[in-house]
Amino acid sequence: MLTLLLILIPLFSSIMLFAFGRNHAKAIAFTASVAELAVAFATLNAVQTGQAALLNIDMPWLADIGIRFHINTDGISMLMVLLSTLLMPLIMYASFNRNYNNLHTLYGLMFLMQGSIIGSFVAMDGFLFYLFWEIALIPIYFIILMWGGNNRQKVTFKFFIYTLFGSLFMLVALIYVYLQTPDRSFDIQALYAAGRQLPVVEQAWVMAAFFLAFAIKMPIFPFHTWQPDTYYVAPTPGVMMLSGIMSKMATYGLIRWVLPMVPQGIEEYGYILIVLSVISILYASFISIVQKDFKYLIAYSSIAHMGLISAGIIACNAQSLQGSLMEMLSHGINTVGLFFVFDIIFLRMGTSEMKQLGGIRGLDSSFAFLFFIIVLSVVALPFTNGFVGEFLLIIGLFQANAIAASFAGLSIILGVVYMFRSYQTMMLGETNQLTAGFTKLTMQEKITLIIIVTLIIGLGVYPKIVLGITESSVQTLLQGIQ
């Protein structure tokens, strides 16, 4: 019941907003997102106390072709749900005092997105997962199209087509495995069983097809070219949803649908994906170094981080999986933070080209301080959430492939080069004509950043609250594979 509520609240809120939200968009949206968060905590409680009855719904739906409405929340899904429900009120709150036209529609679309993303996190039926996966694409398409910056038509079109294109491969693979099930079922366990019985080479093909869809969504090299431009034109709430939450559908999908379905394929051919992911890390890190615009920098650095998560998932051991889950949460929090910093600067200065900025630290030192903590987390300094995830990922990846892990480790050096460079260029030095007019943060902006920074340090010092949520589910998953 709780699991269903997690999907229904956002959907219901979006209808409310579309239909009646014109005048009270902020109030409705914020209340709803907080209510959703409350339900998520209730769900967490149910997960930790093992109240399966509250979590699991399994009903026949399109019975003729073996599709069931099966949703459930285990530890892994739970963390993903927390990620999306935790960030949602924050993203909403961050967008207050930013004058978007038709705010109620924007919020409505965001809820629609949240509902379908959560749906994909709790779906335990292959078809259902695919359905939610595709539905989630539509609202973000409209968000960027309606509220985006210059050149949005072209960019969104490419984004839409590219991701849709990738998903088709996943659909084909899903149907292929579905056809192998003895009684034609899309149920997750049936698909697992059927997948595992496939010959290794076929497993590898299934893996490849899924990975293509996921690689585009994350994104990783060489399937990333839609991402920087899309992030660039997207309005801040949209890009926060996209990078903070939506990209995690792909990495979650790898854990939930690929690892247990085609374990031998992963074992035999997974190294190819690891190599690809590590190339992606380095490639994106290098490109980040020469970025001139802060928003593009966030976009490319995001590719680097997603690459590490992807490599860790394929490495498939307790450390790397726990690390990847931790890092998904951290990456969500951190990118929302970074994009908010971008928003603050862009709103005041009208540009995010780093060279034009400078000296802001002298005008608002608390802003610089908060921003810098986010930077520290991005470069994975111990006692930030970013460190916990990256450390576990690297130590986990190391056990699967020491050389890949060492190369992936280079990102801790390159990360400092590009993140510190951008921080120093924008915040330090002397002010110039443009930045002299930088006004101090408003209370609302400060609060948003303080929440983010508190999460960064809190989870960095005591990550157990997160790692504890996923621990037993990761164990179960790994046992299932062996």
Partner 1 sequence: MEQLVKLIPLFPLISFALIGLLNRRLTKTHAAIFACTGVLLSFIDSVLIFVSQSSHFHPVEVSIFDWISAGNFKASFSFLLDPLSSIFLLVITGVGFLIHVFSIGYMKDDDGFRRFFAYLNLFIFFMLVLVLGNNFLVMFIGWEGVGFCSFMLIGFWFKDQKNNDAAKKAFVMNRVGDLGFLIAMCLIFFTFGTLNYTQLFQPGFMSQFSFDATTITIITVCLFIGAMGKSAQIPLYTWLPDAMAGPTPVSALIHAATMVTAGIYMVARTNVLFSMSPDTMQLVAIIGTATALLGASIGLFQNDIKKVLAYSTVSQLGLMFLALGLGAYTAAVFHVVTHAFFKALLFLGSGSVIHSMGGEQDIRKMGGLKKHMPVTYTTFLIGTIAISGIPPLAGFFSKDQILSEALSHNPTLFVLGMLVSLMTAFYMFRLFFLTFHGKFRGTHEQEHHLHESPFTMTMPLVVLSVFAAFAGFIGFPHALGEKLGIHNWFDHYLEPVLGKTASHLSLSTELTMMGVTTALVVIVILIARHFYVTKATLPMAENVERPAVQKVIYNKYFIDEFYYNFITRPLDALSAFLQNFFDNKIVNGLVNGFGQVVVKGGAFVRQLQSGNINAYAITFVIAVILIFSIFIF
Which positions from 91 through 150 interact with partner 1, judged by CB under 8 A?
Answer: 102, 105, 108-109, 112, 116, 131, 135, 138-139, 142, 145-146
Token pair in block for residue 158: 């490419």
* Nearest CA-CA partner of 247 in 142, 334, 177: 334
| Cα angle for residues 88, 338, 467 (degrees, 5° grid) | 60
Residue 151: Cβ-neighbour burial (10 angstroms; 0-12, 13-18, 19+): exposed
- The answer to whether 361 contacts partner 1 (rule: CB under 8 A) is yes
- C-beta atoms surrounding 62 within 10 Å: 11
Give the one residue of 23, 49, 179, 430 binding partner 1; rule: CB under 8 A: 430
Question: Looking up tokens 């078809």, which residue turns up?
Answer: 127
- The nearer residue to partner 1, 158 or 446, going by C-beta atoms, is 158
Residue 387: Cβ-neighbour burial (10 angstroms; 0-12, 13-18, 19+): buried
- The answer to whether 395 contacts partner 1 (rule: CB under 8 A) is yes
- The answer to whether 59 contacts partner 1 (rule: CB under 8 A) is yes
- The nearer residue to partner 1, 96 or 420, going by C-beta atoms, is 420
CB of residue 226 to partner 1, shortest distance in Å: 8
- The answer to whether 14 contacts partner 1 (rule: CB under 8 A) is yes
Beta bridge partners of 68: 60
Euclidean distance between CA atoms 15 and 229, whole angstroms: 30
- The answer to whether 62 contacts partner 1 (rule: CB under 8 A) is yes
- The answer to whether 161 contacts partner 1 (rule: CB under 8 A) is yes
Site string for partner 1, 283-312 (x = CB under 8 A): x--xx-xxx---------------------
Token pair in block for residue 418: 């590009």
CB of residue 84 to partner 1, shortest distance in Å: 18
Q: Which stretch binds partner 1 (CB under 8 A): 75-83, 156-164, 193-201, 270-278?
A: 156-164
- The answer to whether 214 contacts partner 1 (rule: CB under 8 A) is no
Q: Which stretch binds partner 1 (CB under 8 A): 77-85, 184-192, 317-325, 448-456?
A: 317-325
- The answer to whether 160 contacts partner 1 (rule: CB under 8 A) is yes
- H or E stretch covering 46: helix 25-49
**How many residues of this chain interact with partner 1, rule: CB under 8 A?**
85
- The nearer residue to partner 1, 76 or 198, going by C-beta atoms, is 76
- The answer to whether 472 contacts partner 1 (rule: CB under 8 A) is no
Q: Is 432 left (phi over 0), alpha (psi -120 to 50) or beta?
A: beta
CB of residue 225 to partner 1, shortest distance in Å: 4
Beta bridge partners of 59: 69
Contact between 357 and 426 under an 8 Å Cβ cutoff? The reply is yes
Give the one residue of 319, 334, 385, 401 binding partner 1; rule: CB under 8 A: 319
Q: Which stretch binds partner 1 (CB under 8 A): 10-18, 176-184, 245-253, 334-342?
A: 10-18
- The answer to whether 168 contacts partner 1 (rule: CB under 8 A) is no
Q: Which stretch binds partner 1 (CB under 8 A): 86-94, 254-262, 433-441, 458-466?
A: 458-466
Site for partner 1 in 174-213 (CB under 8 A): none
Give the one residue of 151, 189, 406, 432 binding partner 1; rule: CB under 8 A: 406
Site for partner 1 in 254-283 (CB under 8 A): 283
